Amino acid sequence: MTIEGKFYGIGVGPGDPQLITVKAVEVLKQVDVVAVPKSRMDRESVAWEIAKGHCPSDIQLMELEMPMTSDEAILQVAWRNAATQILYALHSGKSVAFLTLGDPSFYSTYTYLLNLLKEELPSEQIETVPGIMAMAAAAAKVNQPLATGDEPLLVLPGIEGVDKYPEIPNLVVMKVSRNLPEVLKDLHESGGKAVLATRVGQAGEEIRELTEQEEAGKVDYLSLVLINRSV
């Protein structure tokens, strides 16, 4: 069967509706359907909050339930359902923009969807539009570089110990709600500077330097830590 509509994976940036690219806005203005992942159907989508001001008021919304779980079986079902709904719209000749927070190629569940759609669509019918990553927005907020000159930068997904890489001067810990105690232990042992950035560009934004004496309390899922050991 010929599929006429085009699929777009849109990075909407970290939170501030002004930190979305001109290209993403152009796509949002001309697509037929905007697909919005939601962790629960009764919750607002952060990605939609960012994008909605850039979309025509009568845009067709496709809400897709994506449970916050690491259970592969549950995720597989959710992504298959999402792919089926999107393919149905594309088969009807509609173009679809799927929204994803930050950049689509960076620790994004968009990849699951993309892999499923790649099995069904020719590559010219899929376009991924990059977005500003949360770590770039966090670094900008504190007017600090992520890395300079010949320095390496290591990005960790919040499961591995940051102490495994004592020689790396710059680290970013994503999903830090899972391992803040380790980050604090490393900070205590290696010194340096660590900035905890929560909900950058969103309501409830909080950005502060961590202290060595800090108690590891509960941290919002949308948090990351920027570490600079060379200060």
Q: Which of residues 45-84 bind ligand SAM (CB under 6 A)?
A: none
Q: Which of residues 10-49 bind ligand SAM (CB under 6 A)?
A: 14-15
In angstroms, give the least distance from the CB of 200 to ligand SAM. 4
Q: Is the CB of residue 14 less than 8 Å from the CB of residue 102?
A: yes
Beta strand segments in 46-192, E: 60-65, 96-100, 126-129, 153-156, 170-173
CA distances from 73 to 38, 67, 76, 80, 157 (A): 18, 11, 5, 11, 22
In angstroms, give the least distance from the CB of 157 to ligand SAM. 8
Residue of 5, 9, 102, 169 that binds ligand SAM (CB under 6 A): 102
Contact call for residue 5 and ligand SAM (CB under 6 A): no
Of 60 and 105, the one with the shorter C-beta distance to ligand SAM is 105
Per CB under 6 A, which region of 29-37, 162-170, 188-196, 216-224 contacts ligand SAM?
216-224
* CA–CA gap between residue 122 and residue 156 (Å, rounded): 33
Q: Is the CB of residue 47 less than 8 Å from the CB of residue 19?
A: no
* CA–CA gap between residue 216 and residue 219 (Å, rounded): 8
> Applying CB under 6 A, which residues contact ligand SAM?
14-15, 101-103, 106-108, 133-134, 174-176, 197-202, 221-224
